[in-house]
Amino acid sequence: MNENREPLPGAAPASADFRDLTLVEVEQLVANAGERSYRARQILHWVHARAAGSFDEMRDLPASLRNYLKQSFTIGHPVSSFVSRSSDGTRKLLIRLDDAEEIESVIIPTEKRMTLCMSSQVGCAMACEFCATARMGLHRNLTSSEMLSQILAARRELAVGEELTNFVFMGMGEPLANYPRLVRTLAIMTSEWGMGISPRRITVSTVGLVPMMERLLSETPVNLAVSLHATTNELRDRLAPINKRYPLEVLLDACRNLPIKRRSRITFEYVMLAGVNDSIADARRLVKLIGPLRGKVNLIFYNPLPDSPLRTSSRAAVEDFQAILKNGNLTATIRESRGLDIAAACGQLYAEQHIPA
């Protein structure tokens, strides 16, 4: 949980967001204020369970403690600068941060789930060929409070009776490239003093930062998804350039040795690109590559980007691909495209709002 954070001396920069803090840090802060330790859980309950927007709302705290907190901290207010709603119920949020940067989050409803796709960075440095966010480059990492803001902003967009059930870090950015803040965020999301979300409902997706994959599963109980997208190094070097640092054999060997928890397994994401990675030969190679692993494959229809030569595979090609995987005793599901009418692919809404036509 160490994020190279300076110890709290009893005062903090005026711009510090209280939602970045863990229980241990809040207990230290409360002790510095001369209050008993149980006050820390009271405050965190207000912040995370009751979504308090200010310390003045915390009427069961002594006024002196509320004033002490106000001197050093704020409680951020995420602002959805643009919300796009799809005919299929998908909602895409463009969330403005305090420095005027913007990130995307997507609410994805299905029959049994209401999933929030979350960002971990402003932009991304991984340069994947099929990803709209890659065209932005990396602007900066998100803080924990900025990642958590996406949950608060999304909840405001839910209709009566709707509730977020699952959370996936598959939005803008490479989560494992922002590892310390990601792990801090996961701790706040899953702890009983935080948001109390079951870790089994949280998935972190990576394009393949091998050293951090094992660390994530050793330090957290969340699920892992690996963006694979190719069955040869030559093609993956092009689609996901991180492969030049961690080629397929290194990545899959790491997957083989990951400390997978009981009843858990790795999900391999595979974006289907017409004439690029959707052949029968690709499917058969994929069976050989990941057949020995305890994993499943999520086949994804590609959301085409403007000015890109890449095209999505036909449904027939995707279903034929799936059939070969199943015949090879792999669990293979097809992720249906959602929000096509609102540019729901990662980075597309940002591009629409910021890049002139």
Overall average pLDDT of the 118-122 stretch: 98
62 and 86, same domain (yes or no): no
Structural domain total, the chain: 2
The answer, yes or no, to whether residue 5 has pLDDT greater than 70, is no
Task: Find the catalytic residue in 128, 131, 255, 346.
Answer: 346
Q: How high is the pLDDT of residue 6?
A: 37
User: Across residues 276-302, what is the average pLDDT?
Assistant: 95
User: Per residue in 224-268, pLDDT tens?
Assistant: 999 999 999 999 999 999 999 999 999 999 999 998 765 567 999
Query: Tens digit of pLDDT for each residue in 127-156?
Result: 999 999 999 999 999 999 999 999 999 999
Domain for residue 3, yes or no? no
DSSP character at residue 139: E
User: How do residues 20-67 score in pLDDT, each as one tens digit?
Assistant: 999 999 999 999 999 999 999 999 999 999 999 999 999 999 999 999
At 259 the pLDDT is: 84
What is the per-residue pLDDT across 201-223, written as a single tens digit (0 to 9) for each? 999 999 999 999 999 999 999 99
Q: Are residues 49 and 111 in the same domain?
A: no
pLDDT at position 8 is: 35
Same domain, 20 and 163: no
State in Å, rounded, how far the first CA of the chain is from the last one: 43
Q: State the helix-helix crossing angle for 210-219 and 179-190, rounded to 10 degrees.
A: 20
Angle of the 210-219 helix axis to the 248-256 helix axis, nearest 10: 20
Report pLDDT for 21. Answer: 97
Q: Is 131 a known active-site residue?
A: no
Q: What is the pLDDT of residues 59-97, one digit of tens each?
A: 999 999 999 999 999 998 777 778 888 888 899 999 999
Strand, coil or helix: 296:
strand
Contact in structure between 13 and 30 (CB atoms under 8 Å): no
Containing domain of residue 281, as a range? 79-354
Smallest Cα–Cα separation from 289: which of 345, 229, 357?
229
Whether residues 46 and 141 fall in one domain: no
Catalytic residue among 104, 146, 174, 269: 104
Structure pTM? 0.90
> Both 165 and 57 in a single domain?
no
Distances (CA, A) of 85 to 82, 122, 161, 206, 334: 10, 22, 18, 27, 23
Residues 202 and 301 in one domain: yes
What is the C-alpha radius of gyration for the chain, rounded to an integer number of angstroms? 21
Q: What region, left, alpha or beta, does residue 39 occupy, with left being phi > 0 and alpha being psi -120 to 50 degrees? A: alpha
The answer to whether residues 146 and 64 belong to one domain is no
Confidence of residue 13 (pLDDT cuts 50, 70, 90): very low
The residues near 77 (Cβ < 8 Å, ≥ 6 apart) are: 53
| pLDDT-derived band at 346, boundaries 50, 70, 90 | low
Q: Which helix (H) or strand (E) holds 97?
A: none
Mean pLDDT across the chain: 90
- Are the CB atoms for 75 and 128 separated by under 8 Å? no
34 and 92 part of one domain? no
Is the confidence at residue 4, as pLDDT, over 60? no
Catalytic site residue 104? yes
